Amino acid sequence: MADSITPSDPWQALRRFTAARIALGHTGISQPTSAQLDFQLAHARARDAVHQALDAASLAPSLAAAWPGSPPLLLHSAAENRNVYLQRPDLGRRLDAPSRALLAAPHGGEGRHDLAIVVADGLSALAVARNAPPFLQALHARLAAEAWTPAPLSIVEQGRVAVGDEVGELLGAQLVVVLIGERPGLSSPDSMGLYLTWAPRVGLTDERRNCISNVRPAGLGVEEAADKLHYLLAQARARRLSGVGLKDETDEAATLAQGGTGAFLL
């Protein structure tokens, strides 16, 4: 009976190529009940991801295993809780006083580290809990044989992207990379973003950063994301810049390596 009142959508075959809500079908002029229920479930998962607290203490051991070295530093932004964090983005961009004191000594010092890694909950703690450990493991494998002096890994609760600037500045790092949960979509509550900044310091704006987005199993895989970030890290250190002056040219390099021209029209 259900088949007789819910005609199949001619685009149905295309759904295997995307998680987007296409070819949902219809019953009369309305969506089928199943599509409406799926939408409500996805919306609830997105809301849960925004409000879910980051369990930093539980996450720290898996991050430490993926990124060997000093134990992770547990930090907190100036936003004292989730409600404040969501209403005051400015507080999520700065550390609280105890966290600043923790970084000032003995970990900090001008030029002491090449690279600082910051893991922050952002708008989806779920995203970093799922994706940060395997991504860090993949990145560490690429950097281990190179001459990098990393700072201790930092975990920031109630943190936004720009909080990495203060962490990097206090640690005296040349580069900072922030792994952060992105704003959840209706089909992607677990999407993680990567933000790279050369010479981090408080007050920088977004044109100074490079971003790699949508790192998750159904999006950009951790191995490919690690390749892209590895390339950007090497270029940023060699050219001493990041942001609009630094482009991700990994796709062009791969095309040339395969004998292609890299030109769309040729």
Digit-coded pLDDT (tens) for 140-181: 999 998 989 999 999 999 999 999 999 999 999 999 999 999
Of 99, 211, 116, 238, nearest to 156 by C-alpha is 99
CA atoms of 177 and 154, how far apart (whole Å) = 10
Residue 239: band (very low, low, confident or very high) from pLDDT cuts 50, 70, 90: very high
Show the tokens assigned to 209: 């950063």
pLDDT of res. 265: 42
CA distance 207 to 197: 10
pLDDT at 240 exceeding the cut of 60: yes
Structure tokens at 225: 């994301």
- 13 pLDDT above the threshold of 90: no
Superfamily name and number for 54-246: Ethanolamine ammonia-lyase light chain (EutC) (3.40.50.11240)
Residue 50 marked in a binding site: no
Cβ(255)–Cβ(266) below 8 Å? no
pTM, two decimals, is 0.86
Average of per-residue pLDDT across 101-116: 77
- What is the band of 253 on the pLDDT scale with cuts at 50, 70, 90? low
Q: Which residues, including other chains, have CB under 8 Å from residue 43's CB and lie 6 or more apart? A: 186
pLDDT, position 2 = 46
3-state helix, strand, coil in the chain (%, to 5): 45, 20, 35
- Domain coordinates of the chain in residue numbers? 54-246
Q: Are strands 209-215 and 73-76 parallel, antiparallel or unpaired?
A: unpaired
* Mean of all residue pLDDT scores within the chain: 89
> Residue 28 has which token pair?
């009369």
Q: Give 137 or 14, the one with higher predicted confidence.
A: 137
Q: Rounded mean pLDDT of 17-29?
A: 82
Is 224 flagged in the annotation as binding?
A: no
167 annotated ligand binder: no
